[in-house]
Every structure is written in C-alpha cells, then in structure tokens.
Amino acid sequence: MKKIFAIAWKDAIIRFSSFSEILFFIILPIVFIFLFAGAVPTGDEDNRIRLLVVDQANTSISQEILSELEKSTSVRPDVMSIEEAQEQFDSNRVAAMLIIPAGFDIESIQSGNAQLDFHQQPSDIDANVAQRAVETALRKVSSVFNAAQMALEEAKARGTFESLEDEQAYFNAALETAKTLQADSPERIKTVQGNTPDDFDYDPQANVSAGQLITWVFIPLFGISALFAYERQQGTLRRILTTPTSKATFLFGTISGQVLMALIQMTLIVLFAFLAFKLNWGNPIGLYIVLSCSCLAAAAIGTAMGTFIKSEGQAVGLSIMAGMLMGMLGGCWFPIELFPPFMQSFAKIFPTTWAMQGLLDLLLRGAGVVDILPEAGMLIGFAVIFFGIGVMKFRYE
Amino acid sequence: MLAYLQKQASALHIKEITMLKTFIIGLKDLKLVFRDRAALIFMLLTPFLLTLGMGLITGRFSSNDNSGALNIPIVIVNLDNDSMGNALVDVFNSEGLADLVEPTISQDAEAARLLVDEDKITAAIIIPAGFTHSIIPQNGITSENVQIEFYANPSRPTSSGIIKTILDGFIARLDEMRIGGVVSVTQLISSGRITPQQAQQVGDEMGKRFENNQNDFNETIITLNTSTKQTESNEVDMLSYFAPGMALMFLMYTVSYGGRSILAEKSGGTLPRLLISPTNAMQILGGKVFGIFLTGIAQLLILIGATSLLFQLHWGNTIGVIVLVCAAVFGATGWGLFITALARTPAQVGSIGSALMLIFGVLGGGFIQTDNMSAFVQTIRKITPNAWALDGFTELAFGGNIASLTTPLLALLTMGIILFLVSAFLFGRKNLMQK
C-alpha cells in the first residue's frame, strides 16, 4: 500500500512540476465550458431563420410588412442600417436581406410603382425559405390593394370613368370595403400540435458542461501512455525491476494516482458548473459511479496505449488526438441526437458516448443509481478489456 | 569603374550568401519537423481526422447532396378533391419547392396524423371536403368556413414553421381572390354598373375565372425584386468551414513548435555553436523564422491537397488560396515568435502554444459557429489569425477571389508585422541571440 501511494505521489509531483499543468487541469476546461455554452443555441430561443431588414421608408405600410414578418413562423426579421446589413450579407453571415426603399408608401402601391429589393445568397435553402416568407407577408399586406385594384379593373371592363377623380374615388371605396372584409375573414387554418414524443432532451449548459468534463478528463488519462513512455525513455522503469516491486504494484500505483487526480479534476468542474450555471448534477452517488467508471475506462485505454507508443512526444500527440476525436464522436461537443443514424450507432464503440449518456441521464432525465448501471457496466467493460491488454503487453524496456 | 563593379559584385555575393544561409537554416528546420513523428501527428494526422470526424457527424459523407436541400417530409390529405384543394397540392408539388418539401399525397387523415406522432414526417395537411365550396360560391351560395388542419410535429419546429409559411401564403392568395370578388361585385352594384339580380351571375363568372386562371393571380401589387449574390461557386459544402478551421487550429501548434525549437537550440547548445560560425544572429533568427513559415505553409498545403483529393472539397480560387495560406501562416508565425519571446523554456512555449491553439481554435470558429457568442467574444476573436483566415477561406469557398480577400489579408499581415516587431524587441531585451 505504501509503495502504491509512493508511486502515485511521485506521478503527481512529476505532473504538477510545471504551473502549465494547472492550465490544462482546470483553467482551460472552464474557459471551454464558457465559450461552448455561450456559442450553442439554448433551445428556448427563436429558431426562425434570421432575415435582415433595412427599412429606409419607415412608413405605416413598411411597418405593416415588418409586423407581418414578425408573425411569420419561419423567419425572424432583424432591422438594421443598410451599412450593417450589407456588411453582414457580404460576409455570408446571413442568408437573405430585404430592403424597403425610401418612398415606399400607399401612393406608390396605388400607382403600381412599389418595389422592394430582396438579396439572397446563392443555393441557400434558408434564403429560399426567407423569400417565401417575404412573399407571404407582402401578399397579406397588399391583398386589400390587390382586391381594390381587381374591383377597379372589373368596373373599367364595364365602362369608363368620367374623370380620374371618379376612378380614384371608386378605388378608395373598394379599398375600404376590402379592409372591412379582410378584418372579418375567418381563420382558414387550424393548427394542431401532434403527440410526438419529445425524446431529444437538450440543455446547452448541461450538455456542454458534461461534454467538456469528459473530454478534458479523458485526454490526461490517455496521457498515462506518455507517463509510461517517459519513464521508459528515462530508464526509470528498468530501475524499478531492481527493486522488490511487482508489475501489478507499479501499474496499480500509477493508474490509481491518475484516476484519483481525474476525480479531483472532475469534482472541480462539477462544482464550477454548479456554482456558475446552478447546474443540478442529479443523484450524487450515481454521478460518482459514472465519473469513476469513466475514469477507469479512460485510464485503461491510456495504459493500453502506453504499451505500444515509443516516445513521450508521440504519446502526448496521440492522447490529445484520441481524446478530441472520441469526445467529438461520442457527442461531447455536439448532441449525438443530431448525428446521422449510422453515426449514432457507430458512436457506441467509444467510451465517451457511454460516459456522456450516463451524465445526461442524471442531468436531464432525473435518472437514479439503477438507471445509470447499464452505462456504468459498459464503461467497466471497456476498462476490463483495455486493462487486460495493457497488463499483458506491458514491458519495462 | 572596375573597382566599383568588383565592390558591387562582392556586395551581391555577400547578400546571396546571407540569403543562402537563411534559406539553409529554414530548410533544415523544415526537414527536422517532417522527420518528427510526434509533430506529424499534431500537424497533419489530427486535423485531418478531426475534419473527417466533423464530416461524419454532420452527415457530409452520408448524403449525396451537399447543397443543404431540406426535403421536408409532409403528407397532404386532399379530401376536398376540388379546384382549391387540388391547387394546394399543386403548390407543394411545384418545382419552386422541390428543394424544400417532399410531399406525399394520401386519403387517410388518421394515418397521416400517426406519421407525425411517430416523428416520421414534419406535418400533415388535411384539406377537408367542401374546402373549395367554402371559398368560391356555387350557385350564389357559399358554405360555412371549412378549415384546413395543419397537424404539426412539435419536435421539428423549424421545418414545420416553414411549411406553415407556405400554407399561409396560399391561404392569403385565396382570401385575396375571394375578397377581390366580393368587393368587385359590391362596388359594381353600388355604382349601378350591374343590378343586384346580375350579381350572382357576375360572381360565378369571376369564380370560374379564378378557378381556371389561378396563375394570373400569383402576382401582387408590390413587386419583389430578387437578386442572388454572384459567385463562381453555387455549391456550399459544410466541410468548407470545418477543414480550414481544423487546419488553422493546428497551424498554431506548428508555429509554437517552431518557436520552441529556437529556445531548444539555445538550451541544447547548438545556437551558441551556430553563433561562433561566420553566421550572424539575424541570419540565424531569420532562418528559424523562415523555417517556421515554410513548415506552416507545407502543413496547410498538404491538408488542403489531402482534403481536396480525398473529400473532393472545393477550396475556391487557387491563387486566392495560396495568398491566403501565406498570409495566415505569416500572422500565425507572428504569434509563434511572440510566445517564444515571452517564454523562458521550450516546455513553456509548448504549454502556452497548445493552450492558445485550442482557445484560438474555438474563438476562430473551427469547432463551432461563433455567431451566437457574446459581443465581447466577437471582439476578442479578432486577435486570432484563425478568425480572419477562416473568413477568407469561407469567402473563397463561396466563390470569392483574391480581390474579395482584402480585409482578411490586411488584418493577417498587420497582425504578423506587429507581432514580429514586438517579438524582435523582446528578443533583444532577453539577449536571446547572445553567444
């Protein structure tokens, strides 16, 4: 026991000999949680397509168009100056832009000269949707004018007007009637929400915190391989051969030390998310079962990696690469529900997927200890397989 | 005259030797990096695999269509089987909506609702019998209001919102025709152009005209002038964001690796040895910087070449890409030197470099869209070469050329120059190049 503690303590000293380790241990995970949590949509926000609107006319009729766009179920108008809109459109930050030019008013509509400019990005489906929404809004706003115009054309087909004033008066009367009729128009669409089970639980802060926690803990645990490679390169592993220390004692000391440090790191991240986002991590026993099993799985993979990687540099590179890839493919960066179906199935070969699943069960679905046992079991399975490989293939030289 | 020419020739010769030494040192560093397997994992393998991973999770490799067509699945149940119900079916089957909607026609309303409940489709549109009759009077009689049922999938709010917009547009057109007909007849009577007895006949005639010539009523009194941004490429590939994002993130590793080698040469004793040879400090430092620059360019060009060949990724205008790569590497090299100038040991350069690589990667937009980030983050990201270079690569992917890269190029060059000057000052203060 004393030997195991001594080995674990020695590893901790080596690891934290540089202040930069603190950077990766706690500072960067927190920075990443902040950045990712700030960048992903919250789910509660307006998910309609953003449409830039430049209202240079600022007339009652342009306001009516804006009001109709606000009511749209597919676009969200964002009113701004022409310079700002043009800059955003030119830098491809938005799919479409609507410009209501100065002089757009009721008179211009009556005279048939009313024109709006719609700019869209090429081959952009959002722009296509935005155009439909704008056309619908224009149709609603202009329908009374179209109806009045239609009435005027029908009248003209049955005889001429004595003067332009008479024609205008006829149009105005038709317009008033049309407005009354429009106001009394019945609702022709009945919207019913289906009974689709909403199985996509998503909370950006919960997803991001859990995802970053796993990513940033898996990478250093994969880094156990670098620890082995370092000791092998330095020749210290060979020296251990000369002492009465078994392979099992050495491996257990190294791995348990790293797992313990990972649990401390996880606890700090859990506390941070709790304090910063008031995140409820769910059942604490369940949480530490998932965290411990995740640590064991990652440490086992690191041990297995350490048996075939030759240099410390390669081990560091491969650990970070493997950690980032498994994090990404395991749903730690983006919700796995958004992956294509075959990738959702493929992701099950990664321990990160199970760790993430376990944490989200606790965080979002109120799972208890029994509910997370399948995920914990899978993680233990990874640990057994990779520890087996690691112990069998481990060599001092 | 001869003496002058000899002097000129000698000066030229010295210049050539100086350049040659700088070039040789740079080339030597390039060779060393490409022999280091650990460095190659970071420089080439990791960004390549992460790009591949991004492509896999976003469905880039599982769909033949990268243009982003939505093909929203819906079912239309047309129980009306009359002109207006058929017109609505035609709208959803029109060519203009081919990229947006994938409609299926059915006669079974319950089955359609069930498909929504099972999350297999976005919405069911159920047009009840008598819908046409509720809008267009027949024999002067209009039936009571008959509503279309829009049965929406609540777990697909965006796409069901799009379908509702299309449906709203259709209904607005119908109402406009109906109101137009009623207003026309009312006004004709009140102006004495027709008698009340003629109203039904005129109304029926108009109704027939609406039914037979619906396309004539598509136009609105307000003209919408549409224009599409002119670009070379009309295909927008999502890997066009991820591939440069990942490549640029790991470019930061490369430049910090290069910077680390300067300090490593000092602590390893090779730098003092170089300084006692007939090679001055500026030549050595210039060579080292040139080496970092060459390595960065090689890294980006290899990644661009690999993704072009293996993923058929279109990076855009070739000259624009080359110029932008040079500018991005120049800006990033500035950061590499700056980190080196601040650090005391090669390990510190490694740690700070790795941390900056990851932070710049996120801020630059390599992992996630930064549009939702706070205004503060939007401002701070401008200090990263990743953000400017990614803007440039996106512009090129959208069909831009070198002329459209003015802002990113200027920003990257300015960033590089400022960081080079600050680093040179800090190197001077640290007496880094002392024997």
Rg (CA), chain B: 34
For A49, name the nearest residue in chain B, comparing CA atoms only: B158
Write out the two tokens for B413: 């060059």
**Residue B221: its chain A contacts at CB < 8 A?**
109, 112, 114, 142, 145-146, 149
**Last residue of some domain: A124, A142, A160?**
A142
Whether residue B315 lies inside any domain: the answer is: yes
**CB-based contacts of B202, cutoff 8 Å, min separation 6:** A154, B184, B185, B188, B194
- Indicate which of B221, B240, B390, B393 best probes the interface with A, i.e. most A CBs within 10 Å of its own CB: B221
**Quick one: pLDDT band at residue B176, thresholds 50, 70, 90?**
confident
Say yes or no to pLDDT of B65 above 50: no
Whether residue B80 lies inside any domain: the answer is: yes
For A88, name the nearest residue in chain B, comparing CA atoms only: B371
For A313, name the nearest residue in chain B, comparing CA atoms only: B38
Whether residue B244 lies inside any domain: the answer is: yes
Cβ–Cβ below 8 Å for B162 and A313: no
Cβ–Cβ below 8 Å for A28 and B359: yes
**Residue B405: its chain A contacts at CB < 8 A?**
none
- The predicted model gives B354-374 an average pLDDT of 82
Closest chain B C-alpha to A350 CA, distance in angstroms: 13
B53 and B78 assigned to the same domain? no
The CATH number that applies at residue A98 is: 3.40.1710.10
What pLDDT, on a 0 to 100 scale, did the predictor assign at position A250? 79
B316 and B360 assigned to the same domain? yes
Q: Which of A148, A116, A149 is nearest to A133 (CA)?
A: A116
Say yes or no to pLDDT of A11 above 90: no
**Residue A92: its chain B contacts at CB < 8 A?**
394-395, 398
Residue A113 CA to residue A109 CA, distance in Å, equals: 6
The minimal CB distance from B186 to the residues A177, A195, A339 is found for A177
Closest chain B C-alpha to A358 CA, distance in angstroms: 20
Looking at per-residue pLDDT, the higher value among A329 and B39 belongs to A329
Cβ–Cβ below 8 Å for B162 and A129: yes
**DSSP3 helix / strand / coil % (chain A, rounded to 5):** 70, 5, 25
Whether residue B184 lies inside any domain: the answer is: yes
Whether residue B229 lies inside any domain: the answer is: no
Closest chain A C-alpha to B283 CA, distance in angstroms: 29
B171 and B270 assigned to the same domain? no
Judged by a CB distance cut-off of 8 A, whether residue B157 touches chain A is yes
For B180, name the nearest residue in chain A, comparing CA atoms only: A147
Say yes or no to pLDDT of B300 above 90: yes
CB-CB contact of B306 with B48 (8 Å): yes
Looking at per-residue pLDDT, the higher value among B24 and B274 belongs to B24
- The predicted model gives B70-80 an average pLDDT of 87
Cβ–Cβ below 8 Å for A124 and B188: no
Whether residue A343 lies inside any domain: the answer is: yes
A241 and A352 assigned to the same domain? yes
A111 and A129 assigned to the same domain? yes
Question: In angstroms, what CA-CA distances link A301 with A228, A325, A389, B359?
Answer: 13, 14, 9, 26
- Indicate which of A15, A61, A136, A334 best probes the interface with B, i.e. most B CBs within 10 Å of its own CB: A136
**Last residue of some domain: A125, A142, A159?**
A142
Write out the two tokens for B246: 């990942």
**Residue B249: its chain A contacts at CB < 8 A?**
none
What pLDDT, on a 0 to 100 scale, did the predictor assign at position B4? 66
Q: Residue B24 is which amino acid?
A: I
The minimal CB distance from B169 to the residues A136, A174, A320 is found for A136
Residue A213 CA to residue A207 CA, distance in Å, equals: 10
Write out the two tokens for B173: 């057109």
CB-CB contact of B173 with B165 (8 Å): no
**Last residue of some domain: B192, B217, B242?**
B217
A246 and A369 assigned to the same domain? yes
Cβ–Cβ below 8 Å for B148 and A31: no
Q: What is the pLDDT of residues A330-369, one digit of tens each?
A: 999 888 877 887 888 899 999 999 999 999 999 888 888 9
- Indicate which of B153, B165, B186 best probes the interface with A, i.e. most A CBs within 10 Å of its own CB: B165
**CB-based contacts of B77, cutoff 8 Å, min separation 6:** B105, B106, B107, B108, B109, B112, B124, B125, B126, B127
For A155, name the nearest residue in chain B, comparing CA atoms only: B188
A127 and A237 assigned to the same domain? no
B74 forms beta bridges with B103, B123
- Number of domains within chain A: 2
**Residue A338: its chain B contacts at CB < 8 A?**
57
Q: Residue B21 is which amino acid?
A: K
For B43, name the nearest residue in chain A, comparing CA atoms only: A317
B141 and B83 assigned to the same domain? yes
Looking at per-residue pLDDT, the higher value among B46 and B369 belongs to B46
A228 and A362 assigned to the same domain? yes
A35 and A74 assigned to the same domain? no
Q: Which of A212, A234, A221 is nearest to A305 (CA)?
A: A221
What pLDDT, on a 0 to 100 scale, did the predictor assign at position B12? 59
Whether residue A150 lies inside any domain: the answer is: no
Residue B396 CA to residue B402 CA, distance in Å, equals: 8
Q: What is the pLDDT of residues A79-99, one digit of tens each?
A: 999 999 998 888 777 889 999
- The predicted model gives B21-43 an average pLDDT of 84
B253 and B282 assigned to the same domain? yes
A125 and A237 assigned to the same domain? no
What is the span of the domain harbouring residue A217? 2-41+204-393
Closest chain A C-alpha to B281 CA, distance in angstroms: 29
Say yes or no to pLDDT of B69 above 60: no
B46 and B90 assigned to the same domain? no
Whether residue A152 lies inside any domain: the answer is: no
Whether residue B228 lies inside any domain: the answer is: no
Closest chain B C-alpha to A164 CA, distance in angstroms: 16
Say yes or no to pLDDT of A19 above 80: no
A29 and A77 assigned to the same domain? no
**Quick one: pLDDT band at residue B333, thresholds 50, 70, 90?**
very high
B167 and B192 assigned to the same domain? yes
B180 and B103 assigned to the same domain? yes
**Quick one: pLDDT band at residue B113, thresholds 50, 70, 90?**
very high
Q: What is the pLDDT of residues A288-299, one digit of tens each?
A: 999 999 999 999
Q: What is the pLDDT of residues A193-204, one digit of tens each?
A: 888 765 556 677
Say yes or no to pLDDT of B389 above 70: yes
Say yes or no to pLDDT of A178 above 70: yes
A32 and A99 assigned to the same domain? no
**Residue B161: its chain A contacts at CB < 8 A?**
48, 72-74
Residue identified by tokens 């090779």 is B270
**Residue A344: its chain B contacts at CB < 8 A?**
none
Closest chain B C-alpha to A159 CA, distance in angstroms: 8
What pLDDT, on a 0 to 100 scale, did the predictor assign at position A383? 94
Whether residue A22 lies inside any domain: the answer is: yes
- The predicted model gives B14-27 an average pLDDT of 74
Whole-model pTM over 0.90? no
**Residue B171: its chain A contacts at CB < 8 A?**
188-189
What pLDDT, on a 0 to 100 scale, did the predictor assign at position B5? 58
Judged by a CB distance cut-off of 8 A, whether residue B342 touches chain A is no
For B110, name the nearest residue in chain A, comparing CA atoms only: A194
Whether residue A251 lies inside any domain: the answer is: yes
Compute the count of residue pairs across chains A and B with CB atoms less than 8 Å apart.
325
- Indicate which of A16, A129, A201 best probes the interface with B, i.e. most B CBs within 10 Å of its own CB: A129
**Quick one: pLDDT band at residue A168, thresholds 50, 70, 90?**
confident
Write out the two tokens for A173: 């009367």
Cβ–Cβ below 8 Å for B147 and A18: no
Cβ–Cβ below 8 Å for B222 and A114: yes
Say yes or no to pLDDT of A31 above 80: yes
**Residue B70: its chain A contacts at CB < 8 A?**
125
B125 and B186 assigned to the same domain? yes
**Last residue of some domain: A117, A142, A167?**
A142
**Last residue of some domain: B217, B251, B270?**
B217
Say yes or no to pLDDT of B412 above 90: yes
B253 and B390 assigned to the same domain? yes
Cβ–Cβ below 8 Å for B221 and A145: yes
Cβ–Cβ below 8 Å for B150 and A190: yes
What is the span of the domain harbouring residue B257? 19-62+234-430
Closest chain A C-alpha to B227 CA, distance in angstroms: 5
B239 and B318 assigned to the same domain? yes
A65 and A31 assigned to the same domain? no
A379 and A271 assigned to the same domain? yes
**Residue B149: its chain A contacts at CB < 8 A?**
189-190, 192
- The predicted model gives B171-177 an average pLDDT of 85
- Number of domains within chain B: 2
Whether residue B222 lies inside any domain: the answer is: no
Closest chain B C-alpha to A356 CA, distance in angstroms: 16
**Residue A129: its chain B contacts at CB < 8 A?**
100, 162, 165
Q: Which of A316-325, B129-138, B398-407 has the lowest mean pLDDT?
A: B129-138
B188 and B246 assigned to the same domain? no
**Quick one: pLDDT band at residue B433, thresholds 50, 70, 90?**
low
Judged by a CB distance cut-off of 8 A, whether residue B41 touches chain A is yes
Say yes or no to pLDDT of A382 above 90: yes
Write out the two tokens for A221: 């645990």
Whether residue A121 lies inside any domain: the answer is: yes
The mean pLDDT value of chain B amounts to 83
What pLDDT, on a 0 to 100 scale, did the predictor assign at position B277? 76
Whether residue A199 lies inside any domain: the answer is: no
Say yes or no to pLDDT of A54 above 80: yes
**Last residue of some domain: B188, B217, B246?**
B217
Whether residue B31 lies inside any domain: the answer is: yes
Q: For residue B127, how far is the Cα from the chain centroid?
A: 39
Whether residue A167 lies inside any domain: the answer is: no
A354 and A233 assigned to the same domain? yes
The minimal CB distance from B155 to the residues A116, A151, A200 is found for A200
Residue B115 CA to residue B120 CA, distance in Å, equals: 5
CB-CB contact of A48 with A94 (8 Å): no
**Quick one: pLDDT band at residue B60, thresholds 50, 70, 90?**
confident
The CATH number that applies at residue B88 is: 3.40.1710
**What is the SS3 string spanning chain B?**
CHHHHHHHHHHHHHHHHHHHHHHHHHHHHHHHHHHCHHHHHHHHHHHHHHHHHHHHHCCCCCCCCCCCCCCEEEEEEECCCCHHHHHHHHHHCCHHHCCCEEEEEECCHHHHHHHHHCCCCCEEEEECCCHHHHHCCECCECCCCCCEEEEECCCCHHHHHHHHHHHHHHHHHHHHHHHHHHHHHHHHHHCCCCCHHHHHHHHHHHHHHHHHCHHHHCCCCCEEEEEECCCCCCCCCCHHHHHHHHHHHHHHHHHHHHHHHHHHHHHHCHHHHHHHCCCCHHHHHHHHHHHHHHHHHHHHHHHHHHHHHHHCCCCCCHHHHHHHHHHHHHHHHHHHHHHHHHCCCHHHHHHHHHHHHHHHHHHCCCCCCCCCCCHHHHHHHHHCHHHHHHHHHHHHHCCCCHHHHHHHHHHHHHHHHHHHHHHHHHHHHHCCCCC
The mean pLDDT value of chain A amounts to 85
**Quick one: pLDDT band at residue B66, thresholds 50, 70, 90?**
very low
Q: What is the pLDDT of residues A231-276, one digit of tens each?
A: 787 777 777 777 877 777 777 888 888 889 899 999 999 999 888 8
Closest chain B C-alpha to A109 CA, distance in angstroms: 6
